Chain A
Amino acid sequence: MLNECQVRSRVISIHPDETRGVFHRPARRPIAARGLTSTVAAGTFPLPASRHFAAFVNAMNLKRRIAKRLERLVGSAEPAPGRTTARDPEVRGAIDVLHEGAICGWISDRSHRAVDSIDCTIDGGHAGSQSNFHFREDLKDLGYGDGVLGFRVPIARPLRGQRHTVRIHAFAEGRKLGALTREMHLGQHPVASANPFLRLSNEKVPDGWAMLPDRRRALKVTREHGADLPGALSRYVRLISDLERDGAVGLSQRIRVDPANDHTVVVVARSLTGNAIRVRTSQANGSSPSHEEIPLGGAWSVLRIPYRTVAPEADVQLTICGAGHAVVDLACLAVVPEPPERAAIPLGEADEVPEHQREPDPANTYTPTTWDRGARFAGPRRGSELASGWFFECTRGQESSFEAARAPEGMAVRHDLSTGYSRIAVKCERNALLGHESIGIAFDITAASERGRRVFISIIGRNDDQSVALIQRAVVLPISGRAEITANLSRGESAALRTNASRFASLEIALELHAPYALEIHALRLFGAESLAEPGSVEMELGDDGFEDPIVAAQAPSLLSTRAVPAVAAALHRIDVVVPVFNAAADVDRMLSSLVEANDGSYRVLVVDDASGPRTARILDRAASRERWVRLARHDDNRGYTASINHGVSLSGAPMVVILNSDTVVPHGWHHRLLCAFEAHPRTGIVGPLSNAASWQSLPHRFSAAGDWLVNDIPGNLDVHAFQRWLERSWLPRRPLVPLLNGFCMAYRREVFQDVGTFDEDAFPVGYGEENDICLRAAAKGWELRVADDLYVYHAKSRSFQGRRAELTAAGNERLREKHAAADWPSIIDALRHHPDLKAIRDHVAHAFLEGSE
């Protein structure tokens, strides 16, 4: 009596020739040994139940297990298009690569357990054998047993011709299980990979790296955790290749190095396929190439390759050696300066030879180099164990910006959040702290921070429901490089710690850091510090960056800049006002009065008296003697306006220099308005205000009925201060960009003079064109010219040369056009004439004062 069990053929398909009478199982549990001798055909089980019921039940259980497993596997393992490997129903696998040295691929029986050796034939002749298999993670990922199914058979004889038939015979305990067959072209790979699970992609090449040209079809780059590769802080990147050529695939990167130091190329890598990697470094100019081939095992290795620096740029290439399927995980490829001598943070005079720099006591040294529970860096959460005994904590909600990775000697951590906080805590033996009268704590780290940052070392006691800080110390990270940062507890603190420690189930030593930071942690060491001076604090002197809130720290200059306002101290000399004077005593007196009234200590005035008459000279002398911030320089003979302002500029060292005519009146706060324009627009080089008489910057009108430049009254019959107040409260500044500015009051960023030089005394000895000349020169260098349309400075206009103004203007214009013959004057004039923002402010004033609507 036969029972027929219908079984889905896709689940079990066993080759009748190869498997008759034997239901293949792993060698450890052969079905034949249990008496199962029935013929097993595809899809049916003819089995006499009365005689072999037990065997039948066993077989059914086995079938169910296999069916379950294969159902999971086969669905995602459809053959790749164009695949030519002949499939044996009992064994499955693929012959991926044939080349002049090896045949690569994978092979398995249905249970992924039985195949223990393979024979390889090419065109019917024996080509090689192999009895050990390598791990392929892609197969394991797909559920093919433990993934140890890959083969790479060296070919013992030379191949002739291009087309070959390759057959791989699988054996279990000397018994042949089946075979794979494939027609292959030597040296011609039909597709980039015969591995159906390998999707070629270069999408995940780490930032800063390039795949080597013409080889990207054969390299799959996966980033296990999405981190960047450069530097020592990345997580690992997986490179998978399936090429026939040795050294065919890899990554390259151009890096900058300090030519003053020699460097070390640090590679942290492993290979799951037993491949070697080749690290090739060369100077960017092509000189001094070097390469090193390094065999890799399945465990992570730290490799250090000396690199002699010649040029400031270097090319680093990493390629995978060996043909066939290769999997290389790369955790770090960095070029670092030769490791400096390990140095402790200086502790002061008493600590020139610190006790803790003696041989470390291994019992009290904790290193983040073991991962008993596996390294799991992906998405650390609060409380995650980064390495055995090393834990991560942070403010709730900030976990996503924290990253950790294995580093050459320990663990690399990075927290990118601009305002975050986190803690790396090490669970310590409570008794470790108890053996010394004074206790020292040292973290061996390599800091990647650009400047010294303050961190905290804490000793925390923990019970299930309680955690308390027992002692905390602030220390400063080294600027860069490797160093020990230490905290030394006083005898009193150590005694208190011993007392408190007994109350807690465990003790943790924590390194607390404010983000952003990046560092490698190599070890924590506890040591006796009896010889250290009391009280043992290692807190360093801090500069202006000692704010806790990073947002405040980022704006510290703003916060601190007003500490001296309105006091003179810090703000003094921030602005220099250069005033060239030649007679016009009444104007000069009024101008100086307004400068005195408006000065809150922010500026000093450099008056250049160009041989004025005695009345003006007396006024200047009086001002200079009354106000210590008024400096007076005097010419014995009249050198001219331009020479005077150049003299004034040469006396100034301030970052902002204002050239102010002597026939002006400035309102309160005028200099702040000019400063605001510079601060709001960093590329601004020159700023000028609005005025009653400043050509294109005039308010409310520019031209008289006769077409001359107009000297307006102050609108509304206000004084300059009242009009300025009205302007401040009624107009939101736009600070329009203009091609030229009027020279009666111009504020210059000092860099403009450094960039384009000072005023041209030769071409414009008495002025009238010198300001346009410097405007054009500054604009040509990329500086912006803006009108401070929230500032109004009164200008009496041309008192010094009242009678000769037209003549001087014409002469200046002529020289200007000669000097800047290439300038597009019609466009410049048109831009000024029709400037929409200048028109808007004129309309605003006209609307308020001329149409009676305030």
Chain B
Amino acid sequence: MKLAFLLPARAGGGGVHSVVQEAAELSSLGVDVWILVPEKHSLSYRTEYATSLTRRLAIVPYAKEAEIAPAIAEADVAIATIFTSVRILAEALEALERAGGGSSHRPRPAYYIQDYEPLFVEPGTPSWNEARDSYCRIPGALLFAKTRWLCDMVSHHHGLRVEKVEPSLDHDVFYPDLSFSPGERLVVTAMIRPATPRRAPRRTARILNWLAAEHAQRVAVHSFGCPRTELPEHGIELHPKIAHHGHLRREQVAELLRRSTYFLDLSDYQAFGRTGLEAMACGCIPIMPEIGGASEFIRDGINGFLVDVRDEQSIRRTLVGALQLPAGERAALLRAALCASNGYSTRRAALSEIQVLMPRPRVVDPLAKEPARSST
């Protein structure tokens, strides 16, 4: 089986890492995987994922979009990963169709939906139209996504069937340190990404500031996600008692989460909420937005908390409640979080993708009903 992922983005982002991580796992299962990236970004991939690249996992740079068609011609499935790559893939497939030739082989088009991307861009703009139309841009394309919420969003708004695959989690990086004791002060950690408004950086900063000002006796507050100098440029100021760690690598994030009691994600919504799941794997209790896909792995009050981020009073109440939890109950939540995260792995994700991407028997379904016949 040969898969070609189209990934027109720079290495290092969460979505990109997710795809590469699953592609690496697929390759370890004997699937040939090519990741097509713009030539200008190829070095960043080779550097970032040097140890992941194998004979079966190749980074294929392209200088022009015209080079994509020949690069995917031999693949069984060509997979777009972001709405901008759907157009590129569609044009590559059309180019292959035009080129024709003797071969009847064509890659099957697919779209690995990472988020409901019309929510990324201003409604009514050309980009929004492109994002909205991306789901049906390629007729017959196989759509798959990693949370039920994402599947439902696309089905609901576009009337399309979206296959569900499993999300991945890298336990080699994200693992707990059960020997760690937080001591008397609990630790609350949050990610602040000022340049991404849907991640609600200001709401997050407000809540962290409130925590630092009101509950400094009880809690130490940490944040990460951007250089400190970036904060004032976006009008965000943090309380002096908040320790801001700047931009962290994955391993550093994991280390911080291992030292944290609660991980706070107050995004407007989360299609998946990867960092929340990674926090659970590190033995940190997540507090996540209830809107979106986080409810797939968080059971409110059992292994984490779900909050309506639009209501800051309720966020504060939830946080106060979490901070006041008796140690025993907090430990029970932590154990439940670890157990829940244990159900996710890159292997499980890769196998679920194979299940979806494997060629299926042709149209006639032996279990289908007897064809409906009409009588004139």
Interface of A toward B, CB cutoff 8 Å = 393-396, 418-419, 421-423, 456, 458, 460, 467-472, 474, 492-493, 496, 500, 512, 537, 539, 541-555, 558-563, 565-566, 590, 665, 669, 672-673, 675-676, 679, 692-693, 704, 710-714, 716-722, 725-726, 728-733, 790, 794-797, 854
**A794: contacting residue among B119, B363, B372, B375, CB under 8 A:** B372
B359 to chain A, nearest CB (A): 14
Q: Contact flags (1/0) for B144-163 with A, using CB distance below 8 Å?
A: 00000100110111111100
Q: Closest residue of chain A to B365, judged by CB? A: A722
The reply to whether the CB of B239 lies closer than 8 angstroms to some CB of chain A is: yes
Q: Closest residue of chain B to A537, judged by CB? A: B313
Q: Which B residues are CB-close (under 8 A) to A797?
A: 374, 376
The reply to whether the CB of B311 lies closer than 8 angstroms to some CB of chain A is: yes
Q: Which of B191-244 contact A (CB under 8 A)?
A: 197-198, 200-203, 205-206, 209-210, 213-214, 232-235, 237-240
B87 to chain A, nearest CB (A): 14
**B159→A552 contact, CB < 8 A:** no
Q: Which of B95-103, B120-128, B174-182 contacts A (4 or more CB under 8 A)?
A: B120-128
Q: Which A residues are CB-close (under 8 A) to B249?
A: none
**A551→B198 contact, CB < 8 A:** yes
Q: Closest residue of chain B to A663, judged by CB? A: B374
Q: Assuming the A-B contacts A562-B153, A732-B139, are A474 and B312 also in contact, with contact meaning beta carbons closer than 8 angstroms in the complex?
A: yes
Quick one: which of A456, A542, A552, A732 has the most chain B CB within 10 A?
Answer: A552
**A711: contacting residue among B116, B140, B376, CB under 8 A:** B376
**A551→B122 contact, CB < 8 A:** yes
Q: Which B residues are CB-close (under 8 A) to A561?
A: 156-157
Q: Closest residue of chain B to A425, judged by CB? A: B235
Q: Which B residues are CB-close (under 8 A) to A712?
A: 374
Quick one: which of A393, A470, A726 has the most chain B CB within 10 A?
Answer: A470
Q: Assuming the A-B contacts A419-B197, A460-B237, A719-B368, are A672 and B374 also in contact, with contact meaning beta carbons closer than 8 angstroms in the complex?
A: no
Quick one: which of B205, B238, B309, B363 has the most chain A CB within 10 A?
Answer: B363
Q: Which A residues are CB-close (under 8 A) to B136?
A: 732-733
Q: Which B residues are CB-close (under 8 A) to A733?
A: 136
The reply to whether the CB of B141 lies closer than 8 angstroms to some CB of chain A is: yes
Q: Contact flags (1/0) for B236-267 with A, using CB distance below 8 Å?
A: 01111000000000000000000000000000
Q: Closest residue of chain B to A791, judged by CB? A: B159
**A562→B158 contact, CB < 8 A:** no
**B291: contacting residue among A394, A563, A679, A795, CB under 8 A:** A563
Q: Which B residues are CB-close (under 8 A) to A669?
A: 155, 159, 161
**A539→B375 contact, CB < 8 A:** no
B254 to chain A, nearest CB (A): 27
The reply to whether the CB of B55 lies closer than 8 angstroms to some CB of chain A is: no
CA distance A154 to B140 in the complex (A): 86
Q: Assuming the A-B contacts A555-B119, A669-B159, A713-B374, are A539 and B312 also in contact, with contact meaning beta carbons closer than 8 angstroms in the complex?
A: yes
Contact count A vs B, C-beta below 8 Å: 189
Q: Assuming the A-B contacts A711-B374, A713-B373, are A718 and B368 also in contact, with contact meaning beta carbons closer than 8 angstroms in the complex?
A: yes
**A693→B157 contact, CB < 8 A:** no
Q: Assuming the A-B contacts A396-B233, A469-B209, A729-B139, are A547 and B118 also in contact, with contact meaning beta carbons closer than 8 angstroms in the complex?
A: no
**A665→B374 contact, CB < 8 A:** no
**A555→B118 contact, CB < 8 A:** yes
Q: Contact flags (1/0) for B183-195 with A, using CB distance below 8 Å?
A: 0000000000000
B295 to chain A, nearest CB (A): 10
Q: Which A residues are CB-close (under 8 A) to B374?
A: 692-693, 711-713, 794-797
**B203: contacting residue among A395, A548, A553, A562, CB under 8 A:** A548
Q: What 19 new A-B contacts, CB under 8 Å, besides A472-B210, A547-B268?
A: A395-B235, A396-B234, A423-B235, A456-B206, A468-B238, A469-B237, A471-B213, A547-B200, A552-B268, A555-B119, A558-B118, A561-B157, A665-B372, A714-B372, A716-B363, A716-B364, A719-B365, A722-B363, A796-B374
Q: Which A residues are CB-close (under 8 A) to B112?
A: none
Q: Closest residue of chain A to B230, judged by CB? A: A396
Q: Which A residues are CB-close (under 8 A) to B312?
A: 474, 539, 542, 546
* 3 pairs of A and B residues whose beta carbons are closest in the complex: A546-B310, A729-B140, A672-B159
The reply to whether the CB of B305 lies closer than 8 angstroms to some CB of chain A is: no
CA distance A711 to B118 in the complex (A): 41
CA distance A790 to B139 in the complex (A): 11
**B311→A542 contact, CB < 8 A:** yes
**B200→A468 contact, CB < 8 A:** no
Q: Which A residues are CB-close (under 8 A) to B232?
A: 467
Q: Which A residues are CB-close (under 8 A) to B268?
A: 547-549, 552-553
Q: Which B residues are CB-close (under 8 A) to A714?
A: 371-372
Interface residues on B, range: 35 or more
Q: Assuming the A-B contacts A542-B310, A548-B268, are A560 and B363 also in contact, with contact meaning beta carbons closer than 8 angstroms in the complex?
A: no
**A549: contacting residue among B116, B198, B214, B368, CB under 8 A:** B198
Q: Which B residues are CB-close (under 8 A) to A553?
A: 268
CA distance A794 to B203 in the complex (A): 52
11 contacts between A and B (CB under 8 A): A421-B202, A469-B238, A546-B312, A548-B202, A673-B159, A676-B158, A721-B368, A726-B363, A790-B159, A794-B374, A796-B375
**A554: contacting residue among B123, B362, B363, CB under 8 A:** B123
CA distance A469 to B201 in the complex (A): 14
**A551: contacting residue among B119, B160, B239, CB under 8 A:** B119
**B310→A729 contact, CB < 8 A:** no
Q: Which A residues are CB-close (under 8 A) to B372?
A: 590, 665, 714, 719-720, 794, 796
A663 to chain B, nearest CB (A): 9
CA distance A325 to B158 in the complex (A): 65
**A472→B209 contact, CB < 8 A:** yes
The reply to whether the CB of B5 lies closer than 8 angstroms to some CB of chain A is: no
Q: Which B residues are CB-close (under 8 A) to A546?
A: 309-312
CA distance A692 to B368 in the complex (A): 18
CA distance A548 to B374 in the complex (A): 55
Q: Closest residue of chain A to B216, judged by CB? A: A496
CA distance A553 to B119 in the complex (A): 9
**B291→A496 contact, CB < 8 A:** no
Q: Which B residues are CB-close (under 8 A) to A393?
A: 235
A696 to chain B, nearest CB (A): 17
The reply to whether the CB of B64 lies closer than 8 angstroms to some CB of chain A is: no
Q: Which A residues are CB-close (under 8 A) to B121?
A: 551
CA distance A474 to B140 in the complex (A): 48
A731 to chain B, nearest CB (A): 6
CA distance A340 to B64 in the complex (A): 63
Q: Closest residue of chain B to A458, judged by CB? A: B237
**B156→A552 contact, CB < 8 A:** no
CA distance A342 to B365 in the complex (A): 72
Q: Which B residues are CB-close (under 8 A) to A565?
A: 152, 155-156
A853 to chain B, nearest CB (A): 11
**B371→A676 contact, CB < 8 A:** no
**A730→B139 contact, CB < 8 A:** yes
The reply to whether the CB of B269 lies closer than 8 angstroms to some CB of chain A is: yes
**A421→B122 contact, CB < 8 A:** no
CA distance A730 to B363 in the complex (A): 13
Q: Assuming the A-B contacts A552-B269, A554-B123, are A562 and B156 also in contact, with contact meaning beta carbons closer than 8 angstroms in the complex?
A: yes
Q: Which of B318-376 contact A (CB under 8 A)?
A: 362-365, 368-376
Q: Which A residues are CB-close (under 8 A) to B371?
A: 713-714, 717-719
CA distance A561 to B239 in the complex (A): 37
Q: Which A residues are CB-close (under 8 A) to B234?
A: 395-396, 421
Q: Which B residues are CB-close (under 8 A) to A421?
A: 202, 234-235
**B141→A560 contact, CB < 8 A:** no
CA distance A716 to B130 in the complex (A): 34
Q: Which A residues are CB-close (under 8 A) to B157?
A: 558, 561-562, 679
A690 to chain B, nearest CB (A): 14
Q: Which A residues are CB-close (under 8 A) to B119?
A: 551-552, 555, 558-559
**B120→A722 contact, CB < 8 A:** no
Q: Which A residues are CB-close (under 8 A) to B368?
A: 718-719, 721-722
Q: Which B residues are CB-close (under 8 A) to A539?
A: 312-313
Q: Closest residue of chain B to A512, judged by CB? A: B235
A47 to chain B, nearest CB (A): 65
**A562→B197 contact, CB < 8 A:** no
Q: Closest residue of chain A to B124, judged by CB? A: A554
